[in-house]
Structure 1
Amino acid sequence: MRRSVLPWLALVFSVPALAAVWQTQDLSRVFAAFAEPSGLLQGCGDVPEAVALAGELRDRALRIERYMESIETRKAQLAQAEQALQRKLVELKAQKGGIRSRSDSATEAVRSDIERLVAVYDQMKPAEAAAILTNLPADFAAEILMRVRPETGARIIAAVEPRQAALMTAQMGARSVRKQ
């Protein structure tokens, strides 16, 4: 029996509420305050507290309005700054891609040059290669020796004077340690 009463009670209470809303037809007026600044003091002009309160309320309303305007201005500025940052981010990503491709092509060019140089030393006689490598900086000579075929490298090191061979071997070991 309880279940059949609840829908009827809901209908009884909601019909008058719907009728009131229908009559007003403007919901903003239902929830808005009807007091306007000019009508606030109607009949209360001789009460100093009421006059002071009305003035304070007007001042607060103006401050709130200015604050809301400044918030809207800041929102617009933030939106513009965000768009500028997005454009800059896209630009920087494009530049990064360009730099990376140039760097990759330069690295590839250096790598191919080194490979050609290593191929030249692989084709040389060990004594001739040793004479040239002893005149190069030790780290560069060690890099070349690391890249030539092991048999060729062994013959070249054997053709170098012992002090220079020890220096090149130390450089080769240091290079291996640096890579780790």
Structure 2
Amino acid sequence: MHKRILPVLGLILVLPVAVVAARHVDLPRSLFAFAAAPSTLMEGCFDVPEAVAMAGELRDRALRIQTYTEALEAKKAELAQAEQTLRARLSELRAVQTSGQTRRSQASAAVQDDINRLVAVYDVMKPADAAQVMTSLPPDFAAEILMRLTPENGARIIAAVEPGQAAILTTHMGARSARKP
């Protein structure tokens, strides 16, 4: 029976003390004291110089970290904007490049068509008439036309050209072939 009386008596004596202590102590505030403002954390510590110096240093560090974090966020936003601008510019440049290549290939095709028509004209001309015209053209242009003619017609036209001019045209034709890889 003694064993049962002691816990009951202890409970009777401790319960009123716990109720009084709970009224005087704010339990949630004491449990979350670490989240309290720094000024309340320093209450009663202003007479300890080390604590004051440490609190000041921690405050300065917190401000530096906050400033650094804000600067990082600003740089991050700036970089995202720059990346977006660069991507847009890259797509514009690719579109311009594609249209430029299309225009160049169209222009090249048009030039090839013009040259083919011109070659066809010289191909049907009489060799003596074609030779007279060829001697009036710049040698590199005349050589280009002669290279595109059928070998038989090209030979007839060169045979109709005076020998000095024929040598120049033949040299340009050989040089053109040597330039091409």
For normalisation by structure 1, the TM-score amounts to 0.79
CA distance in 1, matches of 2:66, 2:143: 76
Mapping of residues 116-135 of structure 1, within 5 Å: 116-135=117-136
Structure 1: 4+ residue segments shifted above 4 A: 33-36
1:160 aligned partner:
161
Q: For residue 71 of structure 2, what is the aligned residue in structure 1?
A: 70
Distance 1:135 1:48 in 2: 104
How many Å separate the matches in 2 of 1:90 and 1:63? 40
Maintained 8 Å contact 1:45/1:51: yes
| Paired AA for residue 47 in structure 2 | D
Give, as a single letter, the amino acid of the residue that structure 1 aligns with 2:89: K
Structure 1 residue matching 2:136: 3-state secondary structure: coil
Cα distance in 1 for partners of 2:53, 2:178 equals 84
The correspondence of residues 9-158 of structure 1 with structure 2, limited to 5 A, is 34=35, 36-158=37-159
| Deviation at residue 34 of structure 1 after TM alignment | 4.6
In the alignment, is residue 179 of structure 1 matched against residue 180 of structure 2?
yes
| Matched residues, number | 150
Q: CA RMSD in A?
A: 1.6
Which runs of no fewer than 5 residues in structure 1 stay unpaired? Answer: 1-28
- Which structure would you say has the larger Rg? 2
In the alignment, residue 64 of structure 2 is paired with which amino acid? R
Percent sequence identity is 63
* TM-score, normalised by the number of residues in structure 2: 0.79
**Structure 2 unaligned blocks of 5 or more:** 1-30
